[in-house]
């Protein structure tokens, strides 16, 4: 659960566009949203905002620590955003259905710190993305192979 976010507390004045983008993000916590997703959500469910404003507001939110930006797709380099909950986590991305599963593994987390320290490097951030095929798509694959055999 993500605590209700108050823009003023994050040092941002409350403007209509910012509230709209925040609402869009809060309404879609289940998925990672691209700027375009936010744009289309607002167009359909709310009041249209120009793309440039969507980008700007998302950048402001990122700076303020309200959202986190990721770039999952190994090929296409579209960026997506998610509301930042207190817990850091890594991502597992299904290359078939593009679904994203979040996880956190303490063992990996602590090992990363060890590696980095051994090299005199100071860690500010990291991203671990696992790409593969999720259980759901795997099942579907098996089914369609069945179908072909018949």
Please spell the DSSP secondary structure of 12-81, one letter per residue: ----HHHHHHHHHHHTTTTS-EEHHHHHHHHHHHS----HHHHHHHHHHHHHTTSEEEE---SSS---EE
By CB under 7 A, is residue 75 in contact with DNA?
yes
DSSP assigned state of 84 = -
Report 125-144 residues binding a copy of itself (CB under 8 A).
Answer: 125-135, 138
The single residue among 49, 66, 100, 134 that binds DNA, judged by CB under 7 A, is 49
Please report how close the Cβ of residue 77 comes to DNA at its closest, in angstroms: 6
Closest alpha carbon to 99 in 61, 67, 140, 62: 140
By CB under 7 A, is residue 25 in contact with DNA?
no
- Nearer residue to a copy of itself within complex by CB, 30 or 119: 119
The single residue among 5, 23, 28, 59 that binds DNA, judged by CB under 7 A, is 59
By CB under 7 A, is residue 42 in contact with DNA?
no
- Nearer residue to a copy of itself within complex by CB, 45 or 126: 126
CA separation for the pair 92, 77 (Å, rounded): 17
């Amino acid at each position: 659960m993500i605590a209700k976010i108050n823009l003023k507390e994050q040092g941002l004045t409350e403007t209509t566009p910012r509230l709209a983008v925040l609402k869009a993000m809060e309404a879609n916590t289940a998925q990672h949203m691209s700027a375009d997703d936010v744009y289309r959500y607002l167009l359909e469910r709310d009041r249209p905002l120009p793309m440039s404003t969507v980008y700007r507001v998302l950048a402001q939110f990122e700076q303020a620590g309200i959202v986190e930006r990721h770039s999952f797709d190994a090929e296409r380099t579209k960026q997506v955003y998610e509301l930042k909950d207190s817990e850091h986590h890594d991502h597992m991305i299904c290359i078939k259905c593009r679904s994203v599963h979040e996880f956190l593994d303490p063992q990996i987390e602590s090992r990363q710190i060890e590696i980095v320290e051994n090299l005199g490097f100071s860690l500010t951030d990291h991203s671990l993305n696992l790409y593969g095929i999720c259980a759901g798509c795997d099942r579907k694959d098996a089914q369609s192979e069945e179908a072909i055999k018949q």
